[in-house]
A = this chain, B = another copy of it.
Amino acid sequence: MNPPLVPLGKPHGERADAARNREHLLEVAREMIAEHGVEKVTMDGLAERACLGKGTVFRRFGTRAGIFRALLDADDRAFQHDVMRGPPPLGPGAGPVPRLAAYGRARIAFLLDHFAIARATLDRNGPVPAGGAEFTRIHIWMLLGQARPDVADLDSLSIQLTAALEGPILLGMWMREPDDTIQPAGPLADSWQTLLADSWQTLVERVCHVT
**Which residues of A are at the interface with B, using a C-beta cutoff of 8 A?**
120, 122-125, 127-129, 133, 137, 151-153, 155-157, 159-168, 170-178, 192, 195-196, 198-200, 202-203, 206-207, 209
Option from B124, B159, B207 in Cβ contact (under 8 Å) with A173: B159
> Could you say how many copies of this chain the assembly holds?
2
Q: Are A127 and B175 touching (Cβ within 8 A)?
A: yes
> Across the interface, which residues of B come within 8 angstroms of A166, CB to CB?
163, 167
Q: Are B202 and A157 touching (Cβ within 8 A)?
A: yes
Per the bound structure, the CA–CA distance linking A207 and B201 in Å amounts to 12
> Across the interface, which residues of B come within 8 angstroms of A125, CB to CB?
178
A122-B124, A159-B174 given; name 7 further pairs at CB < 8 Å.
A124-B124, A156-B195, A156-B198, A159-B196, A164-B167, A166-B167, A170-B171
The residue of chain B having its C-beta at the shortest distance from the C-beta of A170 within the complex is B171
Per the bound structure, the CA–CA distance linking A164 and B170 in Å amounts to 13
Per the bound structure, the CA–CA distance linking A147 and B159 in Å amounts to 24
The residue of chain B having its C-beta at the shortest distance from the C-beta of A130 within the complex is B171
Q: How far is the CB of A173 from chain B (nearest CB, A)?
A: 6
Per the bound structure, the CA–CA distance linking A122 and B122 in Å amounts to 10
Known A199-B151, A207-B207; contact A159-B163, beta-carbon cutoff 8 A: no
Q: How far is the CB of A123 from chain B (nearest CB, A)?
A: 5
The residue of chain B having its C-beta at the shortest distance from the C-beta of A169 within the complex is B163
Q: Are A198 and B152 touching (Cβ within 8 A)?
A: yes
Per the bound structure, the CA–CA distance linking A157 and B172 in Å amounts to 16
> Across the interface, which residues of B come within 8 angstroms of A174, CB to CB?
127, 159
Per the bound structure, the CA–CA distance linking A142 and B54 in Å amounts to 51
Q: Are B162 and A173 touching (Cβ within 8 A)?
A: yes
Option from B167, B176, B207 in Cβ contact (under 8 Å) with A203: B207
Q: Are B178 and A127 touching (Cβ within 8 A)?
A: yes
Per the bound structure, the CA–CA distance linking A165 and B159 in Å amounts to 10
Chosen A-B contacts, 28 in total, with CB atoms closer than 8 Å, are: A122-B124, A124-B178, A125-B178, A127-B177, A127-B178, A129-B171, A129-B172, A129-B173, A151-B199, A151-B202, A152-B202, A153-B195, A155-B195, A156-B192, A156-B195, A156-B198, A157-B202, A160-B164, A160-B167, A160-B168, A160-B199, A160-B203, A161-B164, A163-B166, A163-B167, A163-B173, A167-B171, A206-B209
